[in-house]
Every structure is written in structure tokens, then in C-alpha cells.
């Protein structure tokens, strides 16, 4: 069995040393899904929510969150992000798919940044629509693909 990368011989946690790794372009895409009532979906779609346009707020929140990933995830490395994109797509009349893409040129990947961006954007949609629907469900948060680095490309099926 392979030794866990974040555990020292004494059992304590360590941040992985990426100092000797090559700087390469790295890209990751992640998604979250937000399901809500027809009334909440209508207000979200028409930007008539009591708190304003949730898509604008969620897009900014996702980007900001990606930039702060290393403050939220204890062993994540701070990364110089080249770009973060957060987009939205209605998959059904009551479900929005949030997709986040993060890019960097660094010694480690941006999977966590993409996942955090998608998650926080979904949470922001929840926050802004909860007055109309307390039963909103956020699920399906997952990595869709990653490229770059020693391990190469990976894509979800």
C-alpha cells in the first residue's frame, strides 16, 4: 500500500513538499447542482429575488472562494491563479448546474480551487433563494476533469 502523502512518519499531518516539482499549466473543472422549487427557480431565472441577482453574486463568490482555498482547506497550497470561471446552466426547469474552471501555472494542481468555487457559488444561490424555498438541495459536487502535472489528464465519466 502506498504511504499517504500528507502523513509524516510520526503520524502528524504535513503539507506535501512540491518544491522539486516542475511548474506546468494546470486546469481543473468541477460542478455542483442546485435543485429548488418552481417558484424559486422562476425568481432566480428572472432575477427577481428579494436579495437581487443571485447569478451575479454567486459568480463573484465562487471566484473569491477559489482565491481563498488555501485558507479554507488546511493542507492546500496557496496558488497563483491565472483565471477562475464560474458559469451556470439550467439542466431542468428547477435545477441549475454550476461549473467552475480554475487555471494556474504552478507546481501543484487546482482541483480544490475548482471544487471550492463550484461549492461556494452553489451555496450563494442557496443563500439568495432560501427565502422562497427552504428545501433547496445542493448535491453532485464533483471534479469533472484535471489536466497538467506529472499525473497528466483525468476526466470523469
Active site residue 17: no
Report how far residue 36's alpha carbon sits from residue 130's, in angstroms, rounded to the nearest whole number: 9
Q: State the SS3 of the chain.
A: CCCCCCECCCCCECCCCCCCCCCEEEEEEEEEEEECCHHHHHHHHHCCCCCCCHHHHHHHHHHHHHHCHHHHCCCCCCCCEEEEEEEEEEEECCEEEEEEEEEEEECCCCHHHHHHHHHHHHHHHHHHHCCCCCCCEEEEEEEEEEECCCCCCEECC
Which among 10, 17, 53, 127 is annotated as catalytic? 127
Q: Which three cell numbers stand for residue 23?
A: 511548474
Q: Which three cell numbers stand for residue 104?
A: 494556474
Q: Which three cell numbers stand for residue 115?
A: 471544487
Residues designated catalytic: 127
Amino acid at each position: 500500500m502506498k504511504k499517504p502523502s500528507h502523513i509524516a512518519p510520526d503520524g502528524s499531518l504535513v503539507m506535501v513538499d512540491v518544491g522539486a516539482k516542475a511548474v506546468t499549466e494546470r486546469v481543473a473543472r468541477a460542478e455542483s447542482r442546485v435543485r429548488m422549487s418552481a417558484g424559486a427557480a422562476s425568481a432566480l431565472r428572472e432575477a427577481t429575488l428579494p436579495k437581487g441577482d443571485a447569478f451575479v453574486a454567486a459568480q463573484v463568490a465562487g471566484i473569491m472562494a477559489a482565491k481563498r482555498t488555501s485558507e479554507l482547506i488546511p493542507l492546500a497550497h496557496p496558488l497563483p491563479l491565472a483565471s477562475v470561471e464560474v458559469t451556470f446552466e439550467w439542466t431542468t426547469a428547477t435545477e441549475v448546474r454550476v461549473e467552475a474552471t480554475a487555471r494556474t501555472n504552478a507546481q501543484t494542481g487546482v482541483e480544490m480551487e475548482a471544487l471550492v468555487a463550484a461549492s461556494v457559488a452553489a451555496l450563494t444561490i442557496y443563500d439568495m433563494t432560501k427565502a422562497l424555498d427552504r428545501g433547496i438541495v445542493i448535491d453532485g459536487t464533483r471534479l469533472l476533469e484535471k489536466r497538467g502535472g506529472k499525473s497528466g489528464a483525468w476526466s470523469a465519466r
